[in-house]
């Protein structure tokens, strides 16, 4: 049991760190894309080099969303394993007083 909880914590830390880095990179890529788009509008050039930064932003957003979903799932499962006696772990689970005997 202790080993399983340790694995959940280690996995959660990895996902948490990856989610934070993906979020940071997403913010910087989005800021870069907006800056390059504004520079393109001001200079009125015909190159499409700013499109790469928007593609990177979209890719990072998808990666961040998937990592965040995994982070929330691990968070819920680790909270359920720590507090099994306190009640239902999921919103769909009925509370203790609502269950049949």
Query: For the segment 33-80, what is each residue's pLDDT rounded down to a tens digit?
Result: 999 888 888 887 676 777 888 999 999 999 999 999 998 888 877 666
Location of structure tokens 């957003």: 61
Q: Take residue 66 and report the two structure tokens written for it.
A: 């998937």
Single pTM value for the model: 0.61
Q: 14 or 83: which carries more pLDDT confidence?
A: 14
Q: Where are the alpha helices (DSSP H) in 1-101?
A: 2-43, 50-82
Between CA 12 and CA 5 the distance in angstroms is 10
Q: How far is CA 48 from CA 33, 41, 54, 64, in A?
A: 12, 11, 11, 25
Which residues are CB-contacts of 10 (< 8 A; sequence separation ≥ 6)?
none
């Amino acid at each position: 049991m202790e080993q399983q909880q340790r694995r959940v914590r280690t996995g959660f830390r990895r996902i948490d760190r990856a989610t934070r880095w993906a979020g940071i990179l997403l913010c910087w890529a989005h800021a870069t894309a907006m800056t390059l788009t504004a520079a393109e509008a001001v200079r009125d050039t015909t190159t499409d080099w700013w499109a790469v930064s928007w593609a990177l932003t979209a890719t990072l957003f998808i990666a961040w969303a998937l990592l965040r979903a995994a982070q929330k799932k691990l968070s819920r499962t680790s909270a359920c394993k720590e507090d099994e006696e306190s009640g239902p772990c999921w919103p769909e689970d009925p509370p203790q007083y609502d269950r049949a005997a």
